[in-house]
């Protein structure tokens, strides 16, 4: 009897720790009836784009989320990092139907069952540039089977993390961002799999108000900064509330433009002006070709058992856009930890390594390698 009680206690403890017995078990079906074919035929693509939160009455809302669930891809175990830890179209559908019952549509409570990666493509400006030669992984990995996540994280930080400057350049006028990082919503940030390169994000990529040009352009800084045009256009609505200059929101009038170039900002107060007047110094122009000689990009790196242990690595490179040479590299790691105050199953990322008080963001690392020209 005592043995049985101890066994039950161990099972309860394990369930509490792993959250597997209570958090993501299949929820009981909603009392709302299933959508009919006729109702689903009325669903419009723009409703799905807005996740069905467009003021639909209950039957059409259920039809909309049902169509959405049918369009969600099946989880591919061979590409596990492309899908959230709790990705499940059927579970998402039931959760959304129950949100309609409880009056909590659109509160984000079901997002974890739909979370997928948002791709962050590279935009190389020079097709003839040789491929970038990223450093290979160490031949002798530091991972050992006995390691906890914390042990593994600390071992990788000690063995591999750091900033490596191979060459510096003086009198640099501007910089091009080869691979911007899209803004990641809360559900993605807390996910073990789909979070892109948390170390890179910690250096200033992918923030909600990611107008990085204001950090790079100014007095004693670079005279211009460049983004791929598709990324700039994707940020227009986000930046509309923080940047006042009209040039930010003008759409290109010529089809073959590829670059958004920012210049004119000094970072100095405008006489008798406000901070908004100072921001309006920054102007945007569209161009066919990248003007900068040097660019910034990043990539994820894989190490043995990294996803299993919740330890992710990534690298930032400063690249010569003519030769493909890497002038400098920053490599770091971050560890996923359970969030005690967030919805069950959510993760947060520990403060990544390495930590450099003097060079915490992307600009401070860049200007240590590409010395801005005096202007």
Q: What is the pLDDT of residue 22?
A: 35
For 161-175, letters b (16+ CB in 10 Å) and e give bebeeeeeeeebbbb
pLDDT of residue 337: 75
How far apart are alpha carbons 285 and 301 in whole angstroms? Answer: 35
User: What would the pLDDT profile of 8-26 be if each residue is shown by its tens digit?
Assistant: 343 333 333 333 333 444 6
* pLDDT bucket at 177, cuts 50 / 70 / 90: very high
- State the pLDDT at residue 281: 83
Where is pLDDT greater, at 229 or 105? Answer: 229
Amino acid 275: pLDDT: 72
Express each pLDDT in 276-334 by its tens digit.
Answer: 777 778 889 999 999 999 999 999 999 999 988 889 899 999 999 999 999 999 999 99
Band of the pLDDT at 235, cuts 50, 70, 90?
confident
Report whether pLDDT(344) > 60. no
* Confidence band, pLDDT 50/70/90 cuts, at residue 265: confident
- pTM for this model (two decimals): 0.79
pLDDT-wise least confident of 45-54, 90-99, 206-215, 216-225: 206-215
Q: Which residues are bridge partners to 162 per DSSP?
A: 331
pLDDT of 368 > 90? The answer is yes
At 232 the pLDDT is: 87
User: What confidence tier does 147 reach under pLDDT thresholds 50, 70, 90?
Assistant: very high
Domain ranges in the chain are 26-113, 149-372
Share of the chain above pLDDT 90, in %: 45
Q: What is the DSSP string of 59-83?
A: HHHHHHHHHHHHHSPPP-GGGGGGB
Give 48-65 as a DSSP string: HHTTT-S---HHHHHHHH
Mean pLDDT estimate for the chain: 82
Mean pLDDT of the region 133-146: 94
For residue 229, what pLDDT is reported?
92
Residue with tokens 């200007």: 367
Of the listed ranges 8-17, 50-59, 173-182, 279-288, the least confidently predicted one is: 8-17
Q: Over the range 71-110, which residues count as b (16 or more CB within 10 Å of their CB) and which as e? A: ebeeeeeeeebebbbbbbbebbbbbbbbbbeeeebeeebb
Whether the per-residue pLDDT at 6 is higher than 70: the answer is no
Q: Are 71 and 48 in contact (CB under 8 A)?
A: yes
The Cα–Cα gap between 157 and 161 comes to 5
Does a cis peptide bond (omega within 30 degrees of 0) precede residue 137? no
Give the pLDDT score at 244. 61
Q: How confident is the model at residue 75 (pLDDT cuts 50, 70, 90)?
A: very high
**What's the rounded Cα separation, in Å, for the pair 210 and 235?**
8
List, for residues 192-218, the tens digit of each pLDDT value: 777 778 888 887 775 544 567 888 998
């Amino acid at each position: 009897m005592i043995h049985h009680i101890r066994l039950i206690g161990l099972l309860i403890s394990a369930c509490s720790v792993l959250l597997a017995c209570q958090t993501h078990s299949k929820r009981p079906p909603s009392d709302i009836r299933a959508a009919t074919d006729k109702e689903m035929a009325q669903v419009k693509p723009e409703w799905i784009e807005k996740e069905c939160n467009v003021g639909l009455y209950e039957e059409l809302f259920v039809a909309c989320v049902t169509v959405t669930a049918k369009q969600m891809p099946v989880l591919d175990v061979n590409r596990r990092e492309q899908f959230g830890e709790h990705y499940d179209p059927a579970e998402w559908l039931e959760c959304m139907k129950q949100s309609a019952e409880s009056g909590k549509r659109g509160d984000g409570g079901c997002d974890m069952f739909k979370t997928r990666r948002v791709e962050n493509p590279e935009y190389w400006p020079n097709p003839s540039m040789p491929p970038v030669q990223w450093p290979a992984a160490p031949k002798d990995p530091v991972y050992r089977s006995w390691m906890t996540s914390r042990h593994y994280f600390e071992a990788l930080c000690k063995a591999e993390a750091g900033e490596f400057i191979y060459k510096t350049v003086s009198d640099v006028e501007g910089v091009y961002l080869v691979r911007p990082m899209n803004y990641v919503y809360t559900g993605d940030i807390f996910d073990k799999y789909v979070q892109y390169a948390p170390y890179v994000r910690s250096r200033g990529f992918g923030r909600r108000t990611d107008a990085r040009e204001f950090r790079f352009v100014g007095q004693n800084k670079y005279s211009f900064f460049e983004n791929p045009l598709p990324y700039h256009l994707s940020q227009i609505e986000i930046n509309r509330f923080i940047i006042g200059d009209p040039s930010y929101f003008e759409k290109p009038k010529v089809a073959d433009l590829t670059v958004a170039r920012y210049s004119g900002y000094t970072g100095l107060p405008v006489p008798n002006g406000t901070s908004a007047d100072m921001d309006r110094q920054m102007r945007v122009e569209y161009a066919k070709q990248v003007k900068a000689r040097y660019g910034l990009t990043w990539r994820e790196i894989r190490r043995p058992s990294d996803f299993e242990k919740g330890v992710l690595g990534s690298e930032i490179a400063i690249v010569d856009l003519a030769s493909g040479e890497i002038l400098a590299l920053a490599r770091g790691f971050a560890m996923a930890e359970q969030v005690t105050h967030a919805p069950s199953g959510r993760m947060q990322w520990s403060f990544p390594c390495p930590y450099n008080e003097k060079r915490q963001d992307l600009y401070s690392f860049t200007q240590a390698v590409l010395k801005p020209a005096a202007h």
